[in-house]
Amino acid sequence: MATDAAAVPNPPASSGCPAMKAEFAKHAEYLNTLNDKRERLVKASRDITMNSKKVIFQVHRITKVNRDEVLSKAENDLAAVVNQYIAKLVKELQGTDFWKLRRAYTFGVQEYVEAATLCRFCKTGTLLSLAEINDSLLALSGQSVEPLQLNVLDYLLGVADLSGELMRLAIGRISDGEVEYAKTICAFVRDIYRELTLVVPLMDDNSEMKKKMEVMLQSVVKIENACFSVHVRGSEYIPLLESSADPGYSYFGAPDFDQ
Amino acid sequence: MRPAAAAATATTAALRLRAASLSPSLAASLSPSLAALLSHRRSSLILPPLRRICSLAPPHSSAAPNSQPPPQLLSPIMDAQFELFRAQLDESSTLRDRIRAVVAEIESASRVATAALLLVHQPVPLADVLVKAKAQVEVIKGLYARLAEVLKECPGQYYRYHADWRTETHMVVSMLAFMHWLETGGLLMHAEAQEKLGLCSGEFGLDVEDYLTGLCFMSNEFPRFVVNRVTAGDYDCPKRVLGFLTDLHASFRMLNLRNDFLRKKFDGMKYDLRRVEEVYYDVKIRGLVPA
């Protein structure tokens, strides 16, 4: 039966195919360029992550005696991370690619923020601000290139991870006898947690951040518990492996005679 | 009274944690050497000194934890920074709400257009079907213009908010491409699609991957379309659709795709192609294809 719908016209004879192929050749090139760039970013991000982690482990080796040399080595390593690896991000992330390819490099940047803020805290007890980090990155780009400026989301994610490292630092310092230091860390992490609770709900796509907040609370509680144990034990809590421990104390501070 | 009771005001979770840390197995929160020493000493201690540890009297301590006030951190710096973040994120959050409002309208206009196009499965004159759909395209064009206006306030952040209009754009492109084929039998190119939506690559453009995904959605329409056209008596349709879809599939094969959403949708295209081939075969072997 003949159709009553107006018949669809025949496609332009042979031009449909070559025109399509030409069009898709362009798209193929576009996608290849995009994916290659993505791969370069992922590689740079992995390098940044690995080297930032090394800086963090370096900082954890800190003790009362070697503080200055540990921190200066850490800072040098951090500067190397910036100059060698973060520099690679600069030219790739021009224009809209900064946001388009964020998933490719965000982990590296977060790890770097974690390492940089940890170093700064160990040095001065303050939080390295995003503005300061971004100022330090301006040097990486010349005049013709758009400077790489970290976005607030990556910074906040990095700071959230910082609390975990600070928890390890605090527990480690307690074992080394630096109880006051642990308390400083405790107050600092509490401050960060408090500030972040107000900011997290406003963040784009914050499921990741919410998980980090749960972990952060656990870290805060661990530090608080450690400080609590130290407080309650008071004089009992002597660093047993320290050579400077007063030999007059018996273990646990229990006197040798009944009271 | 165990020190734990002093923490009665803490949350239950914290309380549980604190209780756990007071148990003999508190090795977890202490360095391994100290913990080992503790367990060793505990076994050789006689009871009275143990009681002393748990006694009420506050332990005399040279560490005197409360004698020093907590060191003042430079909170003002921290606070100012976070104030700024709150303000910025609040702004972006508001922007996102405005974007979502416009996108909701795009979605609804797109649905009206797609519903109008559904009439092609019935014996309705093509011109009539297209009229309503075209009217919606004008509406959608206007809405994308509004979206572009909103985004002008944050230059360079197209991709920050891109996910909010991605899905709707797929549907719109699919609908536009299908309409274009119905009218001309050819493929709607990326530049043409961009023009139809009143967009331009410089500022607010049509993302290439969105365009390609939209084409994959369009291909999903063809099997059903072809079946119904044959039922309505149009035996020429399968051949034309088959030619078109084969070309499209071959063109897509030129692309190197990652294992993402686009790849998944493209993988579906071969099944559409197969089903159209089967319809064409059914029509051909029964000698229904016009000479």
Beta strands in A109-224 (DSSP E): none
Give the helix, strand, coil percentages of chain A, each rounded to 5: 75, 0, 25
Shared-domain flag, residues A124 and A43: yes
Per the domain annotation, does A86 fall within a domain?
Answer: yes
Using the Cβ of B201 and the Cβ atoms of chain A, whether some distance falls under 8 Å is answered with: no
List the structure tokens of B228.
């119904």
Shared-domain flag, residues A64 and A145: yes
Instruction: Select the highest-mean-pLDDT range: A5-14, B76-85, B142-151.
Output: B142-151
Using the Cβ of B254 and the Cβ atoms of chain A, whether some distance falls under 8 Å is answered with: yes
Angle between helix A179-199 and helix A207-233 axes, rounded to 10 deg: 150
Q: In the listed set A150, A185, A207, which residue is the last one of a domain according to the structure? A: A150
Per the domain annotation, does A205 fall within a domain?
Answer: yes
Shared-domain flag, residues A196 and A224: yes
Measure CA of the first residue to CA of the last residue in chain B; give whole Å.
Answer: 101
Using the Cβ of A98 and the Cβ atoms of chain B, whether some distance falls under 8 Å is answered with: yes
Nearest CA in chain A to B20: A225
Shared-domain flag, residues A36 and A146: yes
Domain residues for the domain of A134 are 32-150
CB B159 within 8 A of CB B108: no
Per the domain annotation, does A96 fall within a domain?
Answer: yes
Which of B203, B247, B266 to probe by mutation at the A interface, max A CB count within 10 Å? B247
Residue-level pLDDT at B291? 66
pLDDT above 80 for A150: yes
CB A191 within 8 A of CB B78: yes
Per the domain annotation, does A5 fall within a domain?
Answer: no
In whole numbers, what is the pLDDT of chain A averaged over residues?
Answer: 85
Interface of B with A in 215-244 (CB under 8 A): 229, 232-234, 236-237, 240, 243-244
Shared-domain flag, residues A39 and A103: yes
Cα separation, B166 vs B103, in Å, equals 10
For A202-221, the pLDDT digits (tens) are 998 889 999 999 999 999 99
Cα separation, B92 vs B154, in Å, equals 9
Shared-domain flag, residues A110 and A195: no
Residue B88 three-state SS: helix
Partner residue facing B123 (CB), from A5, A233, A254? A5
Per the domain annotation, does A247 fall within a domain?
Answer: no
Tell me, what amino acid is at B18? R
Mean pLDDT of B28-55: 42
- Contact list in A for residue B125 (CB cut-off 8 A) is 4-6
For B80-117, the pLDDT digits (tens) are 899 999 999 999 999 999 999 999 999 999 999 999 99
Per the domain annotation, does A188 fall within a domain?
Answer: yes
Residue-level pLDDT at A231? 86
Q: In the listed set A150, A170, A187, which residue is the last one of a domain according to the structure? A: A150
Tell me whether residues A205 and B163 touch, CB distance under 8 A: yes
pLDDT above 80 for B146: yes
ipTM attached to this prediction:
0.80
Cβ–Cβ contacts within 10 Å for residue B6, how many? Answer: 12
Using the Cβ of A13 and the Cβ atoms of chain B, whether some distance falls under 8 Å is answered with: no
Q: In the listed set A89, A122, A150, which residue is the last one of a domain according to the structure? A: A150
Shared-domain flag, residues A187 and A199: yes
**Which pLDDT band holds residue B19 (cuts at 50, 70, 90)?**
very low
Report the gap between the CA of B192 and the closest CA in chain A (Å): 12
Cα separation, A5 vs B273, in Å, equals 24
**Which pLDDT band holds residue B56 (cuts at 50, 70, 90)?**
very low
Which of A4, A20, A180 to probe by mutation at the B interface, max B CB count within 10 Å? A20
Mean pLDDT of A21-50: 95
Per the domain annotation, does A4 fall within a domain?
Answer: no
For B37-49, the pLDDT digits (tens) are 444 444 443 334 3
Tell me whether residues A240 and B212 touch, CB distance under 8 A: no
Which of B51, B61, B126, B235 to probe by mutation at the A interface, max A CB count within 10 Å? B61
Regarding predicted confidence, which is higher, B135 or B50?
B135
CB A52 within 8 A of CB A111: yes
**Which pLDDT band holds residue A146 (cuts at 50, 70, 90)?**
confident
Domain total of chain A: 2
Give the dihedral of Cα atoms A244, A250, A254, A257; nearest 10 deg.
Answer: -140
Percent of chain B with pLDDT strictly greater than 70: 73
Shared-domain flag, residues A66 and A159: no
Q: What are phi and psi of A134, to 5 degrees?
A: -65, -35
For A160-196, the pLDDT digits (tens) are 999 999 999 999 998 888 888 999 999 999 999 999 9
Residue-level pLDDT at A243? 46
DSSP B175-207: HHHHHHHHHHSSPPPHHHHHHHTT--TTSS---
pLDDT above 80 for A14: no
Cα separation, B163 vs B103, in Å, equals 11
Shared-domain flag, residues A140 and A180: no
Residue-level pLDDT at A233? 82
Tell me whether residues B208 and A31 touch, CB distance under 8 A: yes
Contacts of B191 (CB under 8 A, 6+ apart): none
DSSP B46-82: -HHHHHHHT-SSPPP-SS-TTTSPPPPP-HHHHHHHH
Regarding predicted confidence, which is higher, B209 or B56?
B209
Shared-domain flag, residues A157 and A142: no
Cα separation, B186 vs B254, in Å, equals 19
For A243-253, the pLDDT digits (tens) are 444 444 444 44
pLDDT above 60 for B72: no
Partner residue facing A5 (CB), from B7, B41, B124? B124
Tell me whether residues B82 and A35 touch, CB distance under 8 A: no
> Does an H or E element contain B288, and which?
none
pLDDT above 80 for B250: yes
pLDDT above 90 for B260: yes
Residue with tokens 């982690």: A53
Cα separation, A129 vs B69, in Å, equals 26
Name which of A95-99, A114-118, B10-14, B274-278 the model is least confident about: B10-14
Helical spans, DSSP H, in A61-178: 67-81, 87-92, 97-100, 102-124, 130-138, 152-175
Shared-domain flag, residues A78 and A131: yes
Tell me whether residues A258 and B18 touch, CB distance under 8 A: no
Looking up residue A114, the CATH number of its domain turns out to be 1.20.58.190
- Contact list in B for residue A98 (CB cut-off 8 A) is 156
Using the Cβ of A1 and the Cβ atoms of chain B, whether some distance falls under 8 Å is answered with: yes
For A41-82, the pLDDT digits (tens) are 999 999 999 999 999 999 999 988 899 999 999 999 999 999
Using the Cβ of A225 and the Cβ atoms of chain B, whether some distance falls under 8 Å is answered with: yes
Shared-domain flag, residues A175 and A124: no
Looking up residue A180, the CATH number of its domain turns out to be 1.20.58.200
Interface of B with A in 112-131 (CB under 8 A): 120, 123-127
Residue-level pLDDT at A251? 44
Per the domain annotation, does A58 fall within a domain?
Answer: yes
Residue-level pLDDT at B41? 45
